[in-house]
């Protein structure tokens, strides 16, 4: 985890805690620096490639992280704004019973869930979750999660705690 303190120090000056960075900006920085984007208490990685949900989670854990877990409304807001892409998030209904679980064991809380209206639509084949980052807080505002078929290929956002010493 040595990269994290270094990354955190490097970016400390360039980002105030109140600044809201658009997902496009975060993604661009990830691309340019091939690294991780610091926001509040976490570092995020935006993939360029697409994978199934399982492979996405495996890829994140291989980098000492996990698919992004949305803990607060503020964190959710971080991932809204112009893009038009689907990203796997760390939410899965493993037993296909309509019971959602976060990959890091954070308790799933309906009141801190940001499903698009009408989602999850509980289609029998849809038990993995993505967020669809769409342009300019459109009609659905910050509510951009969708349950999707796990075998389909999507981009991903990995998250790991920012270690600042």
Report in angstroms how near the CB of residue 44 gets to Ca ion at its nearest.
Answer: 9
Kindly give the residue spans of alpha helices, DSSP state H, lying in the chain: 3-12, 23-33, 53-61, 73-78
d(CA 77, CA 49): 23
Site for Ca ion in 135-154 (CB under 5 A): 146-147
Contact status: 86 vs Ca ion (CB under 5 A): no
Contact status: 69 vs Ca ion (CB under 5 A): yes
Report in angstroms how near the CB of residue 40 gets to Ca ion at its nearest.
Answer: 9
Q: In the chain, what are the helix, strand and coil shares in percent, each to the nearest 5?
A: 25, 25, 50
Report in angstroms how near the CB of residue 24 gets to Ca ion at its nearest.
Answer: 20
Q: Residue 137 is encoded by which pair of tokens?
A: 């807080």
Contact status: 93 vs Ca ion (CB under 5 A): no
Contact status: 71 vs Ca ion (CB under 5 A): yes
> Cβ neighbours of residue 41 under 8 Å, at least 6 residues apart?
161, 162
Residues that bind Ca ion (CB under 5 A): 69, 71, 119, 121, 126, 146-147
């Amino acid at each position: 985890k040595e990269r994290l303190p270094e990354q955190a120090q490097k970016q400390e000056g360039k980002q105030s805690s109140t600044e809201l960075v658009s997902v496009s900006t975060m993604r661009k920085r990830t691309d340019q620096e091939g690294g991780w984007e610091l926001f509040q208490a976490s570092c995020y990685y935006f993939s360029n490639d697409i994978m199934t949900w399982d492979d996405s989670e495996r890829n994140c854990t291989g980098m000492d992280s996990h698919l992004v877990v949305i803990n607060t409304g503020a964190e959710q807001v971080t991932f809204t704004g112009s893009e038009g892409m689907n990203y796997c998030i760390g939410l899965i209904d493993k037993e296909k019973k309509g019971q959602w679980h976060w990959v890091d064991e954070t308790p799933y809380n309906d009141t801190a869930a940001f499903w698009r209206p009408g989602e999850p639509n509980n289609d029998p084949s849809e038990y993995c979750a993505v967020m669809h980052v769409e342009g300019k807080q459109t009609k659905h505002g910050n509510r951009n999660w969708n349950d999707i078929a796990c075998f389909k290929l999507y981009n991903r956002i990995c998250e790991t705690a920012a270690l600042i010493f």
